[in-house]
Structure 1
Amino acid sequence: MSNIQIVTDSTAYLTKEEIKNYNIKVVSLMVNFQGKEDDEGLPGEFEKFFNALKESQDFPTTSQPPTGAFAAVFQEAIDQGKEVIAITISSKLSGTYNSAIIGAEMIDAEKISVVDSQTSVASLKHMVIQAQKLANEGKTRQEILHYLEEQKRKMGIYLTVDTLEYLKRGGRLSTAQAVVGSLLNIKPIIQLEDGILQTVGKARGKKKALDMLIANIPQEVKYVYIPHILNEEGAKELQAVIKERHPQAKVELEVLGPVIGAHLGPKAMGACYLW
């Protein structure tokens, strides 16, 4: 058993099986929706939320995990004689990184490393699982931290949406922009770069939007993950095209949960790639 405990947050969207098999600790972000605050949850638990989102005029708000939640997980690992590496969602998307930093200072900062992944969703998940595999191989904390810093420079995420409604409701588009964009069937291309989500392009129609996603995947890619929201059929179609163009790459489907997905809405999907 490794003497390093890997910790992450819920936006990595690890499944229950992955959490158990890799012995990764997950600290959940919080979602406030329709007057109730709860943990974000895990893959397999998101469909009810997104179906309710479609029917509701309420828009969810999210918050980072309480500092005490990180501190409790860190303390448990330290009590077991382990060092800790916590890998979080981009600090420019959430206060989760800062919450983990404060939690580490409360326990034993010398034995705990907190890493700003500068990413989220499937790319974060990949980094977390690879870090745990390295820990299981007996790599030191410094060796794993070096891997994580190197991987940050070799990844990208592009996303697109089925409807502009949720970008409007989340404040990322004005009502006028959403109305005009919908009339013209505009699909924005959203990139996560340097830890920031930003619109980097627009396409007319779903097919052209997906073509733009695919065009951004580098030839030397090793892993491609296709995160989606209630759109497995569309994600599988995209998976088939990417496999044909990049036969050397491992291409898998993933899901998006409420914290990230609420701003994109049902049927959204994208491509997370690493090389």
Structure 2
Amino acid sequence: MPKKPIAYIVDSTAHISHELANHPDLYVVPLNVHFGDNEYADGVGIRPEELYEKIRTSTELPKTSQPSAGRFAELFDRLKEEYEQGIAVVLSGEMSGTYASAVSGADLSGFDVRIVDGKSLSYGTTGLVRLAMELGQEGKKRDDIVDAISRHIGKGRSYIYIGQLNQLHKGGRMGSVQFYLGSMLQIKPIIQITPEGTLDVTDKVRSEKKAFRYLVDKVKKAYDEGRRTIHLMHADSPGEADRLKAQMLEAMPDLIVKTGDIGAVLAVHAGEGTMAVIWYDFD
């Protein structure tokens, strides 16, 4: 039986729609979520709603870790029996060791797979692999596909309103003084993913209302430049996401707003109530 041409691989921080989840050539490598001595594979060993409930009720913040090189190698070993080549798009190497694990896993396996650092997360990763799959369906060669999607890396925009400072604090990503002052003054940061794949605090707001206004203004600027589709990701906050979407549509009635959950691993660090607006130049 002839091998299929290209397998597509992402990690579990990518936003996977129902359509993509059912695609026969897309494979997801889960990150790990740790509660004490218990380890769960993201989206496999624990459902997102279970994780959110544990975060709300536990006094101990869960931790996350990248997939091991062995986990990638195990998948690549299976794929090389079915596919000629592969393309793996993973979250920013500046935020996680997932990229390094994928590269090591490819070396261990010997599968002909190109590992792409998407320099983003959530839909930022999804958009790149979706474009890769579309080009593959058109019959483009693997290396040409990688060259094409690489030209779009760093061209997207991602703005993230952090829902819970205590998640950043307990996770070691915010100092005690910053956490104390932020909590007292009800200040919450808005973070932008830079073209290099790092996180940068672009503004600080003192209410959800002001945060929503900031995000709407950013989308409106992109809209005025011709953008007509954006992706609104949330951390277990569909009601708040609906309110933000309504504000966007009030200002831009023909804007297409696609909503989804930001993902359990990312919610561990950013907290419930987090909102992210993401778009690419090819959307």
> Shared fold (TM-score greater than 0.5)?
yes
* Alpha-carbon separation, structure 2, partners of 1:3 and 1:185: 52
- List gaps (5 residues or longer) in structure 1: none
CA distance in 2, matches of 1:100, 1:67: 6
Paired residues of 2:160 and 2:191 also in contact (CA < 8 A): yes
Contact 1:22–1:132 (Cα < 8 Å) also in 2: no
What is the match of residue 43 of structure 2? 41
Q: Distance in 2 between matches of 1:254 and 1:142?
A: 30
1:162 is displaced (CA, Å) by: 3.0
Aligned partners of 1:213 and 1:147: how far apart in 2? 29
Q: Does the 8 A contact of 2:29 with 2:72 survive in 1?
A: yes
Counterpart of 1:221 (choices 224, 227, 230) is 227
- Contact kept in structure 2, 1:67 and 1:103, CA below 8 Å: yes
Distance change >3 Å, CA 58–CA 255, structure 1 → 2? same
Which residue of 1 is the match for residue 178 of structure 2? Answer: 177
CA displacement, residues 61-82 of structure 1 (integer Å, 9 cap, x when unaligned): 2111121221122222222242
1:227 and 1:243 map into 2 onto residues whose CA distance is 16
Where in structure 2 are the equivalents of 1:105-254 lying within 5 Å?
A: 105-108=107-110, 111-193=112-194, 194-217=196-219, 218=222, 219-246=225-252, 249-254=255-260
- CA change 1:226–1:60 in 2 (3 A) is same
Q: Distance in 2 between the 1:6 and 1:86 partners? A: 6
The answer to whether the Cα contact below 8 Å between 2:159 and 2:215 also exists between their aligned partners in 1 is yes
Q: CA deviation at 1:158?
A: 0.9
Pick one of 261, 268, 276 that aligns with 1:262.
268
Deviates more, 1:244-253 or 1:74-83: 244-253
CA drift of 1:119 comes to: 0.5
For residues 81 and 23 of structure 1, do their structure 2 counterparts lie closer, same or farther at Cα, with a shift above 3 Å needed? Answer: closer
Match of 2:277 in 1: 271
Q: Tell me which residue corresponds to 2:16.
A: 14
Matched, 1:68 2:70: yes
- Kindly tell me the number of residue pairs found equivalent between the two proteins: 273
**Cα distance in 1 for residues equivalent to 2:71 and 2:253:** 42
CA deviation map 1:151-174 (0-9, x unaligned):
213201111123321121112222
Matched residue type, 2:117: D
Q: 1:87 aligns with which of 57, 70, 89?
A: 89
| Percentage of pairs with the same residue | 30
TM-score by length of 2: 0.89
Please state whether the residue corresponding to 1:123 is helix, strand or coil: helix
CA contact (8 A) 1:50 1:265 kept: no
Cα distance in structure 2, aligned partners of 1:245 and 1:144: 36
- Which has the higher mean CA deviation after the structures are superposed, 226-235 or 175-184? 175-184
Pairwise CA distance, 1:99? 0.8
| Cα distance per residue 1:242-272 (max 9 Å; x no partner) | 3444556532111122321111111111111
Q: Could you say what the CA RMSD is over the residues aligned between the two structures, in angstroms?
A: 2.1
Between stretches 237-246 and 140-149, larger displacement belongs to 237-246
Secondary structure at the aligned position of 1:82 is classed as: strand
Give, as a single letter, the amino acid of the residue that structure 2 aligns with 1:227.
Answer: M
State the 1:21 CA deviation: 2.6
SS at match of 1:198: strand
In 2 relative to 1, CA 88–140 (structure 1 residues): closer, same or farther, beyond 3 Å? same
Q: Equivalents in 1 of 2:229, 2:240: separation in Å?
A: 19
Structure 2 equivalent of residue 59 of structure 1: 61
TM-score when normalising by structure 1: 0.91
Contact 2:6/2:25, CA 8 A, preserved across alignment:
no
Contact 1:75–1:107, Cα closer than 8 Å, also in 2: yes
Question: In the superposition, relative to structure 1, how do residues 94 and 163 fare at CA in structure 2: closer, same or farther (>3 Å)?
Answer: closer
Structure 1 2/123 Cα, relative in aligned 2: closer, same or farther at 3 Å? Answer: farther
> Does the 8 A contact of 2:154 with 2:197 survive in 1?
no
